[in-house]
Amino acid sequence: MTTYSSASDVDCSASLNAREALIGEVRRGLLRRPRSLAPWMFYDADGSRLFDRITQLPEYYPTSVERNILTSCADPIIALARADKSQSVRLLELGAGTASKTDVLLHAIVRMQGGMVYVPIDISPDALDIARERIAARMPDVCVEPILANYVTHPPQIEPFNGTTLAICIGSSIGNFVPGEARTILRNLKSQLQAGDALLLGTDLAKDESTLVAAPMMTEMALRRNST
């Protein structure tokens, strides 16, 4: 079995040019009609913690539904990605956050092949630190190689891997973007993958009005809880 090193620290030396990117996005957003701001702007340390709390609310169904799907289908998903049993699988995640649901897939890969590499990509160093420390404590066979990057504005360069990369974008995150942005994100990801690699994409279906109206209400609830 391949021996993997312990989880590595988040490389905060990678320059995100956060201030410039933020100013530029605000300018572009205010010039749009209708005016809008990009979702990635909200995921600083406080925003990441708040989002974690929102996902625990009963109104925020995507987290529990997706976790149930992953729990029931993790082994078949990994088996499909690992078609060549002689090749190791590396898991790469766009917008990983604290990787609270990714544990299910990590456990499945470790069961099948032993040690593995997990590459979480996120704009929040705090979220990546939480993910790295938690996974290192619970799953010593997983080598975490976090990448601090805004994958929307600055697609990260992914290190080559001698095996199969299973890229995942879950949590219906792709639905936060207009179609043109979503296509750009997926094309940039495709350019980093090799023949034989795989993509697991989590999307949501159209919802009725009452479900959508509950969204701002649950956000307000989380904000109130966060302030107490």
Neighbours of 154 (CB within 10 A): 15
Q: Tokens 């604290």 identify what position?
A: 98
Beta strands 89-94 and 116-122 are parallel
Low pLDDT (below 50) residues in the chain: 1-16
Q: What is the pLDDT of residue 124?
A: 83
pTM: 0.80
Nearest to 49 by CA among 170, 225, 169: 225
If one counts every other C-beta atom within 10 angstroms of the C-beta of residue 161, the result is: 17
Furthest CA-CA distance within the chain: 55
Query: Which residues lie closer than 8 Å to 99 by C-beta, 6 or more apart?
Result: 93, 118, 120, 131, 134, 135
pLDDT reported for residue 218: 65
Among candidate residues 185, 163, 181, the one with its CA nearest the CA of residue 82:
163
Domain 18-227 top-level CATH class = alpha beta
Q: How far apart are CA 142 and CA 115, in angstroms?
A: 6
What is the identity of the amino acid at 217?
M
DSSP state of 178: -
Determine the pLDDT at residue 171.
87
State whether residue 218 is helix, strand or coil: helix
pLDDT, position 175: 85
pLDDT for the residue 9: 46
The residue written with tokens 């160093």 in the block is 125
Counted residue by residue, the chain has a size of 228
What whole-number distance in Å separates Cα of residue 94 and Cα of residue 174? 10
What tokens were used for 101? 């649901």
Confidence at residue 60, expressed as pLDDT on a 0 to 100 scale:
79
| Sign of CA pseudo-dihedral 32, 14, 48, 202 | positive
H helical segments located in the chain: 18-31, 45-55, 61-81, 103-113, 125-138, 179-192, 209-227
What DSSP state is assigned to residue 6?
P
